[in-house]
Structure formats: structure tokens, C-alpha cells
Amino acid sequence: MKYRIITHGNCTDGLCSAFIVKRNFNILFNKNLTDEEIKRIEVVGLQPKEVQLGEFELTENDVVLDLPQPKKKVFSWFDHHLTSKLRKEEFPENYYWKKMPSCCGYLLEIAFDKGLEKTEELIEFQKAIDKIDDADYTKKDIELCYYKQDNYASPTFLQKLHMVGSMYHTRDRILDDEIFKTILYLNLGETPFSTEELWQLNPLMFYIAQLKSYELWREDVDEYIYYDEKSKCVVQDDRNIKFTRGVSDRFYAYMKYPEASYGINLKVFNEKLVRVSIGSNIFHKDRCKVDINKLCFVIGKMFGDGSGGGHYHVGGAMVYIDKSDEALKFILESFRKEKIKFHLS
């Protein structure tokens, strides 16, 4: 059987999940593949939308990670997004869903159950990826990971994983895809931390550039980001913004407006669609009274082509450009009332 790994592309949890599957393929699936066979397993990065809308041809030999449950039966599927729970029926063999901070952490939990030795390195790795994918940062973590430090002589595990992430978050999508895949075809260590070939690619160089980019971006976004008091929401509307320097710092809204409960970002995706990203204040998730996963699911259906979802505290949806004003109004209204009533159909 020619297996493939289909993972969440250009996402650190997607990368780490594929990494763990490659490293522990035989343990996870009770197989006897050789190292060479495992090394050659093809990795494909997809966006959730491509799976949700069935835009990519999957096969029964695919291992699907950190992505929605495919419409078609695949060899194996692992996910931790709430959206997928809505479709949880009797799962076939090798189908796994659980509400967890990260898909990679979930895979590790399963692998530990199946006999993988719980080493110090794996535990630190699991902590770091859980923190990143669940946006479970403290203010101090954000300062350390999103703002340039004086030196990087002894980075923390969390900083190291951010360095890896910066490698496929340049502004060139083709380059990002290429780097993302390249990492997964290296000679993999136990985790990315001990993958020597990865550190030879100089992640720190990418990371320093990313931190400079965040800085420039924050300067530009400062000009138009605003706080809507009534809905307790920070709005960053990029629909008419032609150009911003650098790359986006998704937590800036809550560093700038600590009083906020929510944040929204609207960005033109293509000639038809606007990408809506919604989150709650990561430092005060307790303030989040609206199920953002549900909200995204609903706005994707009401104002878009039907793709939308995520987690309780954060999510995204695609809406049509000409309906994006309405969508924004609907979202702010939902936050103002702090509840959303709808029929999930």
C-alpha cells in the first residue's frame, strides 16, 4: 500500500502532526514499514476548505491530519477541531477525534498509549505545540516569541518551535509550501528540536526576519485597527488595505486593547471571497461567551460558500465579498448580545 500523509498545510500543528506520524508510523498503525519506506511517504499540505468542499482527491491510503473529516473513507484520520465533532458518528478503524489543544499532542497521547516511550524531549515538544495551537500564551510568552529579543543564545522550546514556524510563514506561498514539505522529508529526529538537518537550514535567520516583519506590520496596522466598545471587539478590516509591510501578528489586537473580549479580521482572499478570522482575547478566554466555532460555521453558510469552523475560542470562515459587510454586522451583533441563536442544518 502506498500511504500518503495529508496534513494541514503551512500550519505548525500540521507540520508537527505529520512529523509525529512519520516518526511513529509503525507504532500508530501497527505496521512493519522500513525506515526507507516511511521516509518516502508523500506529504501533502491542504487547507481545511479543500477537504470540507472535497476539492482534493483523497484515496483510501491517506492519513489525514489536523483537517476536517473527509467525505470519503480514508485509511486514517486524526483531528481535534470542534467542527469535526458535528460529524462524529460511528468511527471506522483508525479514525480519531478528541477535543485536545493540538492534533500533534493528541497523536503523541495515542502513540504513548501504544507504547512510545515518554521522553523529556517529547514532553517539552508536546507542551510547546499545545501552547501554540491552542493559543494558550501568557503575555510573557508573547513578548518572548513575537517581539525581538536581545539575543538567542539559549532559546526556550517555545521560541525554537516559533523559529521552525517562521520558515514557512514568509510572504511567498510557493516558497512556504516548498519549505514545509522539505522539512518533512529530512532525516527526522525524535522531534523537530533534535532534527539536525532542520537546524542546518538556519531557522533563526527566518525567525529574525519574521520578528522584524511583525514590527513593521504592527506600525502599519496601528493606523486603522479599532476597538468597538459595544461589542468588545477589536476590528482589523483589511478589505480596502492595498498594502501593509511585514507579516501579521495575530495577537497584537489583544496586546494593544487588553480590555477587548474578541477580535475580527477581514481580508480579501480572491476575487469572490473574503476570509473572516475571529478570535477571543487569548489572555482572557474567560470573557468569551460566544461559541466561535459555531459562529464561523453559521456565517460560512449564511454569507459564503459553506466553509467555516474552528475551535470554541477561535475560528474562520469564507464569505462572499458582496456579503462581507453584512457578515461583519452579524458578528458584531452576536458579540453585543453575547449569544447566537441559529439552527444548524
Nearer to Mn ion, 52 or 334 (CB): 52
Does the protein bind Mn ion through residue 161 (CB under 5 A)?
Answer: no
Burial per residue of 152-188, b for 16 or more beta-carbon CB atoms within 10 angstroms, e otherwise: eeebebbbbbbbbbbbbbbeeeeebeebbbebbebeb
How far apart (Å, rounded) are the C-alpha atoms in residues 157 and 174? 28
- Residue selected from 13, 62, 141, 249 as contacting Mn ion according to rule CB under 5 A: 13
**Binding segment (CB under 5 A) for Mn ion, from list 9-17, 87-95, 272-280, 325-333:** 9-17
Nearer to Mn ion, 260 or 292 (CB): 292
**Binding segment (CB under 5 A) for Mn ion, from list 6-14, 119-127, 208-216, 262-270:** 6-14
Give the amino acid at 150: D
Do residues 278 and 291 lie in contact, with contact meaning Cβ atoms separated by under 8 Å?
no
Tally of residues, the chain: 345
Minimum Å distance from CB 62 to Mn ion? 18
Number of residues located near Mn ion, criterion CB under 5 A: 4
- Residue selected from 103, 167, 274, 332 as contacting Mn ion according to rule CB under 5 A: 103
**Binding segment (CB under 5 A) for Mn ion, from list 8-16, 148-156, 199-207, 261-269:** 8-16
Does the protein bind Mn ion through residue 133 (CB under 5 A)?
Answer: yes
Minimum Å distance from CB 167 to Mn ion? 18
Nearer to Mn ion, 250 or 256 (CB): 250
Long-range contacts of 35-39 (CB under 8 A, 24+ apart): 39/185, 39/187
**Binding segment (CB under 5 A) for Mn ion, from list 37-45, 98-106, 289-297, 321-329:** 98-106
How far apart (Å, rounded) are the C-alpha atoms in residues 85 and 101? 15
Nearer to Mn ion, 13 or 141 (CB): 13
How far apart (Å, rounded) are the C-alpha atoms in residues 275 and 136? 23
Minimum Å distance from CB 14 to Mn ion? 7
Q: Give the contacts of 80 (CB within 8 A, at least 6 positions apart).
A: 66, 97, 98, 99, 100, 101, 102, 103, 106
**Binding segment (CB under 5 A) for Mn ion, from list 37-45, 126-134, 264-272, 284-292:** 126-134
Does the protein bind Mn ion through residue 158 (CB under 5 A)?
Answer: no
Burial class from Cβ neighbours inside 10 Å (0-12, 13-18, 19+) for residue 316 reads buried
Do residues 85 and 315 lie in contact, with contact meaning Cβ atoms separated by under 8 Å?
no
**Binding segment (CB under 5 A) for Mn ion, from list 127-135, 144-152, 211-219, 335-343:** 127-135
Nearer to Mn ion, 13 or 249 (CB): 13
CA dihedral angle for residue 277, residue 245, residue 46, residue 80, rounded to 10 degrees:
-40
- Residue selected from 66, 130, 141, 291 as contacting Mn ion according to rule CB under 5 A: 66
Do residues 17 and 78 lie in contact, with contact meaning Cβ atoms separated by under 8 Å?
yes
Q: Give the contacts of 55 (CB within 8 A, at least 6 positions apart).
A: 49
Nearer to Mn ion, 133 or 257 (CB): 133
Residues that bind Mn ion (CB under 5 A): 13, 66, 103, 133
